[in-house]
Chain A
Amino acid sequence: MAKEKVLIYKRFERFWHWAQALLISLLALTGFEIKGSYSLLGFESAVSLHNFSAVALMILIVFSIFWHLTTDEWRQYIPTYKNLSAQLKYYTSGIFKGEEHPVKKTVRRKMNPLQVLSYLGLKLVLVPLLVFSGIFYMSYRFTSGGQLMSFTPFTLEDIAFWHVLGAYLLVQFTLIHMYMTTTGHTVTENLRAMLTGYEDLEVEEQEPREELDKNLQTN
């Protein structure tokens, strides 16, 4: 099969990905300073930047949800167990033997089943955990109309517990994510694709979307 340069990550997707990468890095950097792990920007600047990045990220998330819904790209995240164990086997042994990736990457199916599961977990569990605990953290006390208000369904201690737990998990996710980008056909292939949008893919006969979904459901 011939390889062809294909636009796999669209402009918004790349913007979304890198903006998110920047914001999450800032949030982690400032968040762990606020937690007391180290001193870098100073507590006050760390808090301001953390709050600013958090709001920016939440806006970005709203836009990305809108984008996923309107472009039908959300279907990329429909979980499948087909090839899941093959993919696991590839990462734990095949990759060392120079075997081929068990799942072919296509524009309609950019992620392998393991990726789908991880990103689904990220988007449905981990990010909501951080976002909602963060919202509770930010709205624990606030002022409105010259009045001091409190929104305290949970104690600050509990909110911080879940927020910090989520933060550790997200840092771990990011570490593994960054490492996994090196497991393409070349070490930098995936990174380059996320920067330029284009990747050399083996072009298969285009399956109609309905066909693809049917396959997914039967498996």
Chain B
Amino acid sequence: MDLAYTQEEREFRARLREWLAAVLPGLPPRPDPADWPGRRAYDAGWQRLLYDAGYAGLHWPADAGGRGATPTQHLIFLEETERAGAPYVGANFVGLLHAGPTIAAEGSPEQRARWLPPVLRGDEMWCQGFSEPGAGSDLAALRTRAVRDGDAYVVSGQKIWTSHAEVADWCELLVRTDAAAPKHRGISWLAMRMDAPGVTVRPLRTLAGSTEFAEVFLDEVRVPLAHRVGAENDGWRVTMVTLSFERGTAFVGEVVACRRTLDALAAEARRTGRWDDPVLRRRLGRLAAEFQALWRLTQWNVSEAQRSGGVPGAGGSVFKLRYSHARQELYEAAAEVLGAGDALDLDREWVRDRLSSLSYTIAAGTSQIQRNIVAERILGLPKGR
């Protein structure tokens, strides 16, 4: 067990720090969250900066245009960018972490050449068309259908919870290409243009008041057969390849940010005198243990992935379960630090974060589904009711 970073890793960190210190002061101000075109331009600009500096697609394989970095280097990248207050991956999330890696792993040479470079440069944004009203955590229950018609599929159905749908150029779309096949078969993975005729985007308002995601209605949208990645009816396997890579490092930056928030809560409580309440103080102390452990668990999982050649282990579900609840606890404590006077003031960042933290035990597989996964796939308990 060695938590020390290698010489190479330390040099990587130092170069990255230097670059961040040089480039961040020149960034334009962050756009208002409601300003979607502004957000897209901002996220694209950040991606372009990363690209020009050689940090784009850090964890992608080199033959897909990436840097082929180790999981530890990726960990350092996420940690340092968060610590420096750099922009989050934002609207580039699906392209960089989902669709891109999927195309890199499963796409034809033509598909890789067409879709990967624009993702790395920040020229094209992707969104994810997986979830449906009748298929949330039970992803394979999706019903959106695609019927062959000449050189294209004709797609009809509805997607939901589609983040960044308003600004995306492409959608990674799961469709049913064989209605008679068993649930997990008969699914195909398509790349669909968001400006294709028949695509309608309707933003959904979250309980936090924002429009982070949308419903997407598909009415006889034509998607060229050439835009299918992987074999027809093999989309479920293609998707699982991608999803398993999401878990390992998806929350690294957030854990760093949570610890910083905790420090700020303690400072605020000291300032207002609430720190004298031992119940609150001890609650914050316990949260410190929580985020410290989550950071170490991340390092454990990344080290495990590195040893197994980049394949994430089962630790991702364990981490996701613990982290999503810890994050909610953090903002419950924040409300107590703020006190009744400020805990409902939407101009306070912690109040908005408290609201958005409610999504964490739901998004990317609810905690209940995650527990089933842990019990069945890791502990080997029988499938059942």
Do A and B pair up? The answer is no
Name A residues whose Cβ lies closer than 8 Å to a Cβ of B. none
